[in-house]
């Protein structure tokens, strides 16, 4: 074995193992180094609270990894995996779950195929809003799958719209039983959205699933918030369960105003004859213009 070889494959320089990274191979067959694996996340359950975000741009993904975010969720379309591939390239060492839209699959075979496409794109697992039947099929295929409980926006008509869920004993028991069904189906994690904080804390202590809390308090194993909420990328109002650590929306408004002002100043300079000025032009060498006019005028007069 030569010095640049590894028993599990040749390493490119940027993929050399770093402190805190774990050598692994994705289900899609790619050698990788990750900050976490499913097993590491399971082992951390109940011991610490990790951080998670969903970047919407590759720049956000790069920043999230550089900052040290523990896990990422990214949007995913099985028919067009290019965006997920770009996100993986932007954050090559961060555990990444891709979110497959509810209506992209209708059968167990389609769910497994979509999961394999996601894993080939570099995902470490998938997240879905499917029921136990499809979750079981994907889990049986060896694909790490995260379920979704509580407020599921696409299914919110069943729970009374975009509102908190679990504020009655009937709803609380329904959420708990739903999470139990996901666990029995083979899921390894569950995103729990907008339920009472104390309820998630109790449920999380009663399930082996790694719980990702979005708007459900600090009782979960992972704290999840969209990158655009963290960075303040939109105009207020923001969802109650979010906190803005930057105001990129206002910064972008200021930048846009600067763009407009720049164009206006340019227009005015042109109209006043101030652009281009002496330092923006190339002057002809002495005698060139006389020679040019003589040549042109002489030709045109024949």
Residues marked active site are found at 193
CA 111 to chain centre: 21
**Which H/E stretch holds residue 98?**
strand 95-99
List Cβ<8 Å contacts ≥24 apart for 227-233: 227/53, 227/54, 227/55, 227/56, 227/60, 227/64, 228/56, 228/60, 230/53, 231/60, 233/56
Nearest Cα to Cα of residue 192 among 241, 140, 252, 231 = 241
Helix axes 132-140, 108-120, angle to 10 degrees: 50
Indicate the SS3 state at residue 161: coil
Are 49 and 42 in contact by the 8 Å Cβ rule? The answer is no
């Amino acid at each position: 074995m030569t010095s640049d070889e590894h028993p599990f494959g040749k390493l490119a320089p940027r993929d050399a193992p770093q402190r805190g990274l774990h050598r692994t191979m994705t289900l899609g067959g790619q050698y990788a180094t990750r900050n976490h694996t499913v097993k590491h996340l399971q082992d951390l359950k109940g011991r610490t609270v990790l951080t998670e975000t969903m970047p919407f741009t590759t720049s956000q993904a790069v920043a999230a990894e550089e900052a040290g975010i523990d896990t990422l969720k990214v949007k995913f379309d099985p028919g067009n995996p290019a965006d997920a591939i770009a996100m993986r390239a932007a954050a090559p060492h961060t555990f990444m779950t891709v979110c497959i839209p509810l209506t992209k699959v209708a059968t167990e075979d389609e769910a497994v195929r979509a999961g394999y496409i996601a894993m080939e794109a570099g995902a470490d697992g998938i997240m879905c809003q499917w029921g136990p039947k499809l979750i079981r099929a994907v889990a049986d295929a060896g694909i790490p799958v995260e379920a979704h409980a509580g407020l599921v926006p696409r299914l919110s008509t069943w729970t009374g719209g975009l509102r908190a869920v679990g504020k009655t004993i009937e709803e609380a028991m329904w959420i708990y039983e739903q999470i139990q069904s996901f666990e029995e189906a083979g899921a390894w994690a569950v995103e729990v959205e907008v339920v009472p904080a104390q309820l998630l804390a109790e449920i999380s202590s009663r399930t082996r699933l790694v719980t990702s809390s979005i708007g459900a308090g600090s009782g979960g194993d992972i704290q999840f918030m969209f990158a655009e909420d963290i960075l303040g990328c939109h105009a207020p109002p923001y969802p109650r369960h979010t906190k803005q650590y930057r105001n990129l929306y206002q910064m972008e408004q200021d930048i846009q105003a600067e763009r407009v002002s720049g164009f206006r100043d340019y227009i005015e300079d042109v109209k006043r004859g101030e652009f281009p000025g002496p330092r923006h032009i190339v002057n002809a060498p002495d005698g060139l213009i006389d020679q040019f006019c003589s040549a042109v005028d002489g030709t045109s007069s024949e």
